């Protein structure tokens, strides 16, 4: 997927940063690709990049308007379309990872046609995805799972993949959502796949590989989510992970947007994923916990992680605070027979 940077990231008038995760992900992992942010009056979110209008972004050399939000239901407010049309008329590509298709808007399609801009719908799965087979394939896989949505699964996968490669292991980040695909340039948006084929899409996204290679698979949704559990289960069964990492927010107690549902305990999360995941991989196990500690007082974060590690017996890290090295070390201990570390093949 060829995307034309730099991007002007549209976050409009959002007031909840949870739903700006696409924009924040691009800014964090590829800040070199970002020209600025487009915010409307009333927006309470700041990604820490320059504010720009469409005209200012064009003047600054921005090539694409990237819709940087992932709201409930996957739509944007009607009041945003004028800015999207302005960008298309100015010749900026429009990049969208939501559940609608840009080409379904005659106004946007006409504006793009008149200027030569491209309309890029990232959430477009490939055709002819098969039903999952459940047949075990070579290679190793680690899946990020979560106690909720927008809780750090993508960040954890990217950080773990980075740590594995820095340790000399063979590793590939496998994108399963719009932001991950924008970062990796490839992947399958599993939540846009017809339900019968989700596990098959997961099999395609993490194909057979050599035994010492690890696919680090971006998770989606949560098994415990009242709205999105279906995609999580399909991804779990199709990924057939040898290992999984639980992702959690240290201060969140309820499902975001579904506050009448409390979050599960970490142990309940581990136990249910082992129970359900063992259907397609009986050897599945939890290898670590990634915690977003950003809302804890700075001087309490490392102690919180250390106490949680002692309580669970697993490496507990904040990927953006102290990295995923401890989880990599644990994976090497559990799978020493084919792990490639620092250029050496373990027997």
Q: How far is CA 317 from CA 117, 287, 314, 324, in A?
A: 43, 12, 10, 6
pTM of the predicted model as reported, rounded to 2 decimal places: 0.86
d(CA 262, CA 148): 10
* DSSP category for residue 335: S
Q: Is the pLDDT of residue 336 over 80?
A: no
What does pLDDT average to over the chain?
A: 93
pLDDT for 18: 82
pLDDT for 337: 55
Q: Is the pLDDT of residue 346 over 60?
A: no
Reported confidence tier of residue 47, pLDDT bands at 50, 70, 90: very high
> Among residues of the chain, what percentage have pLDDT more than 90?
84
Q: Is the pLDDT of residue 347 over 70?
A: no
The structural domains of the chain, ordered by start, are 7-121 (3.40.50.720), 140-345 (3.40.50.300)
pLDDT for 252: 96
Reported confidence tier of residue 341, pLDDT bands at 50, 70, 90: very low
295-319 tens-digit pLDDT: 999 999 999 999 999 999 999 999 9
DSSP E strand stretches across 250-326: 254-255, 258-262, 285-292, 316-317
Length of the chain: 347
101-141 tens-digit pLDDT: 898 899 999 999 999 999 999 988 999 999 999 999 999 99
pLDDT for 339: 45
Residue with tokens 């680090």: 216
Q: Decide if 98 contacts 76 (C-beta within 8 A).
A: yes
DSSP E strand stretches across 218-343: 243-249, 254-255, 258-262, 285-292, 316-317, 340-341
224-244 tens-digit pLDDT: 999 999 999 999 999 999 999
Phi, psi of 36 (to 5 degrees): 180, -175
134-166 tens-digit pLDDT: 999 999 999 999 999 989 999 999 999 999 999
d(CA 188, CA 168): 27
Q: Is the pLDDT of residue 1 over 60?
A: yes
pLDDT for 34: 96
Span 329-343, average pLDDT: 72
pLDDT for 19: 86
């Amino acid at each position: 997927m060829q995307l034309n940077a730099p991007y002007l990231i549209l976050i409009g008038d959002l007031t909840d940063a949870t739903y700006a995760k696409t924009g924040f992900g691009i800014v964090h992992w590829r800040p070199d690709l970002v020209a600025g942010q487009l915010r409307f009056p009333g927006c309470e979110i700041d990604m820490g990049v320059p504010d720009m209008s469409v005209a200012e972004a064009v003047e600054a050399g921005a090539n694409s308007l990237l819709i940087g939000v992932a709201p409930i239901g996957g739509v944007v407010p009607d009041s945003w379309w004028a800015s999207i049309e302005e960008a298309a008329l100015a010749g900026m590509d429009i990049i969208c990872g939501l559940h609608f298709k840009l080409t379904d808007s005659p106004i946007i399609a006409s504006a793009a046609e008149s200027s030569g801009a491209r309309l890029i719908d990232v959430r477009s799965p490939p055709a002819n995805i098969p039903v999952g087979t459940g047949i075990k394939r070579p290679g190793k896989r680690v899946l990020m799972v979560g106690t909720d949505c927008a809780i750090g699964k993508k960040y954890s996968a990217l950080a773990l993949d980075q740590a594995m490669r820095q340790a000399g292991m063979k590793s590939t980040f496998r994108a399963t959502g719009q932001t991950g695909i924008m970062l990796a340039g490839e992947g399958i948006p599993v939540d846009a796949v017809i339900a019968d084929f989700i596990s098959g899409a997961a099999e395609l996204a993490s194909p057979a590989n050599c035994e010492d290679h690890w696919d680090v698979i971006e998770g989606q949704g949560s098994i415990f989510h009242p709205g999105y559990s279906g995609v999580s289960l399909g991804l779990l069964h199709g990924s057939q992970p040898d290992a999984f990492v639980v992702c959690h927010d240290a201060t969140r107690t309820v499902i975001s947007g579904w506050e009448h549902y409390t979050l599960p305990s970490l142990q309940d999360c581990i136990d249910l994923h082992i129970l359900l995941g063992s259907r397609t991989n009986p050897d599945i196990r939890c290898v670590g916990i990634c915690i977003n500690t950003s809302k804890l007082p700075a001087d309490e974060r490392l102690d919180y992680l250390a106490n949680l590690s002692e309580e669970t017996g697993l490496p507990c890290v904040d990927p953006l605070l102290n990295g995923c090295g401890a989880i990599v070390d644990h994976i090497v201990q559990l799978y020493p027979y084919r792990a490639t570390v620092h250029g050496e093949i373990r027997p």
